[in-house]
Amino acid sequence: MIGTSSQKLELVGNDNTMTRISGDDHDGTYQLTGTLPYGSKQGVWELGDEGPLAIGVNDRLGNQRLYVNDLDYANAYGYDYYDNIPDITKTFVNTAESSSVTIQRSWTLSSSTASVTFPANTVVTKQEGGSFAFYQMVNQGFEISDVTTDGLSDGTVVVGKVKIGIPGLNLSFSKPVTVSLTVDGTYNDKTLSIEALTEGAENWANETSCTVSDGQCSFTVSHASYFVAIVHGSGTGVTDGTVSISTGNGADTGTILNYSTKKSAKKKLYFTLNGVSLKKKNYVTIRLGGKKVKVVSAKRSGNGTRIGISFKYRKWTRGNYNLSLSYKVKNNKHWSKGSFSQSDFLSII
């Protein structure tokens, strides 16, 4: 329990093995299941937090690994530390509905979008009253086009966004909850405005602000909501992380690449960013799936910019890779910045 209780729990799969729920033999997601004893506390529990934990895995070739939750023990005996398991989920919820949930000690709900840290003894309640299922709490990205742009002024550029809470419900927190939102490092040392849109609201409203450090925009809130971090450009219009990308002149946007372990695995792609006219490649920063790639060219093309990128993809994990792009332009001696993204820009199979 994220609090004062602990409980021994044996996790098993089918025939005492892990159960693969997605992927293949080379790259998959596996699941173990277990049952808490009757009468266990409702709320959020953390795997292996207060006692010993060992997870043993082996493959069809007989290779074995043992993951333990004690770093000193792992180092002393040559085992692996279980925090190093990729994308391991260490928290789970005793699923029950309640009118309030007390998080008895500090707990962080993490995702690739943001980390949300609840201080000890935070009480979560539904603002309208009544019971709710805390296990449905989310920390995830969203598209502004799915909600509304009302309340965001012209020239607003959204550089980060996160949805915290339970869809359809307004939740409040008894203590300030810290949100660390991931944004592009080009905004380091910049102050961003934080706007919020509560469930059922028709307009965005100012919440607070943050100063970016190491690509993190950190701020505190007392309620769940949609949150965006914004900067004000110069007439670029509200941007919600989407961009119109065309593939003319031999471009192969949406390319599918085969997984490779070769050092020579390298690819060059070209695409057109419509509606933005850039002069220099140095004014553009691009990432694929969070990995920074080299911009080899940026040339004006009609009312947009023809951009070329080059990257090595040796041992990149199979899956889809989103493109994120940030840029700066100078108009009448004034600089403005913009940020866009394109889902599933690249796939590795």
Q: What is the pLDDT along the chain (349 residues), one digit of tens a residue?
A: 344 455 556 555 555 567 787 888 777 777 777 666 666 666 566 665 555 677 777 777 778 777 777 778 778 877 887 666 665 656 665 555 678 888 878 888 888 889 999 998 999 999 888 888 887 888 998 888 788 888 877 557 788 899 999 988 999 999 999 999 998 877 888 888 899 999 888 899 999 999 999 889 999 999 999 999 988 653 334 343 334 454 444 444 457 888 888 888 898 888 877 767 777 888 888 888 888 899 998 887 766 788 888 899 988 988 888 888 887 766 555 566 677 777 778 888 8
**What pLDDT is attached to residue 289?**
84
DSSP 132-147: EEGGG-EEE---GGGS
What is the rounded CA–CA span in Å between residue 306 and residue 270?
Answer: 7
Tell me what pLDDT residue 88 has. 61
Q: Rounded to an integer, what is the distance from CA 256 to the centroid of its chain?
A: 23
pLDDT of residue 224: 95
What is the predicted pLDDT for the residue at 38? 62
Q: Check residue 60 and give its pLDDT.
A: 76
Positive or negative torsion for Cα 322, 285, 112, 217: negative
Q: Taking the domains of the chain in order of start, what are their residue ranges?
A: 14-93, 95-232, 245-348
pLDDT tens across 170-229, in order?
Answer: 999 999 999 999 988 778 888 888 999 998 888 999 999 999 998 899 999 999 999 999
332 φ/ψ sector (left φ>0, alpha ψ -120 to 50, else beta): left
Q: Is residue 114 a contact partner of residue 64, using CB atoms and an 8 Å limit? A: no
Q: How far apart are CA 125 and CA 123, in angstroms?
A: 6
Q: Cβ(322)–Cβ(344) under 8 Å?
A: yes
**How much is the pTM?**
0.51
Amino acid identity for residue 240 in this structure = D
pLDDT of residue 175: 95
Residue 182 to residue 165: CA distance in whole angstroms: 18
Rounded-to-integer distance, Cα 346 and Cα 254, Å: 5
Q: Of 278, 175, 188, whose CA–CA distance to 223 is shortest?
A: 175
3-state secondary structure of 54: strand
CATH class for domain 95-232?
Answer: mainly beta
Instruction: Give CATH for domain 245-348.
Output: 2.60.40
Question: Cβ(188)–Cβ(249) under 8 Å?
Answer: no
- Closest by Cα among 75, 175, 189, 54 to 122: 175
Place of tokens 């980060």: 160
284-288/256-257 β-pairing? unpaired
How many other CB atoms sit within 10 Å of the CB of residue 161?
23
